[in-house]
Amino acid sequence: MDFIEKNLDCVVSAYVLLTEFVNSLPLQAIKYKLESFSEEVKKSPYVRELKNYVDRVEATSVGKKFIDVQLPDLNGKIQKLSELIGNGKYILLNFWASWCLPCRETNEE
């Protein structure tokens, strides 16, 4: 972080923030750093990616409206999440990873 603080006009600082600190700093700290970078650094692809990260986190943070996903149900019928919400029901979304062998085995049953 000292390097970043001392080199706000260096693209490498944006790269280091993106690759080393993005998952460990609070969102407000990342936003502050983005504003602190020089205008030249703000044009870099690293700052662009950091801004995309901030937008994604803000869009999916607690208290924000959910992203209305559409996925097939067990019978193959496409369901929108928004169509399932309401009437005091609880909705459990279970996402699995295609690289996870136990997940894949469960889905093949």
Please report the pLDDT score of residue 108 as a whole number. Answer: 65
Question: Residue 50 and residue 52: Cα distance in Å, rounded?
Answer: 5
Please report the pLDDT score of residue 103 as a whole number. Answer: 74
Does the global pTM surpass 0.95?
A: no
Question: Residue 54 and residue 35: Cα distance in Å, rounded?
Answer: 12
Please report the pLDDT score of residue 96 as a whole number. Answer: 72
Instruction: Show the 3-state SS of the chain.
Output: CHHHHHCCCCHHHHHHHHHHHCCCCCHHHHHHHHHHCCHHHHCCHHHHHHHHHHHHHHHCCCCCCCCCCEEECCCCCEEEHHHHCCCCCCCCCCCCCCCCHHHHHHHHC
pLDDT in tens, the chain (109 residues): 999 999 999 999 999 999 999 999 999 999 999 999 999 999 999 999 999 999 999 988 888 888 888 988 889 999 898 888 877 777 777 777 778 888 777 766 5
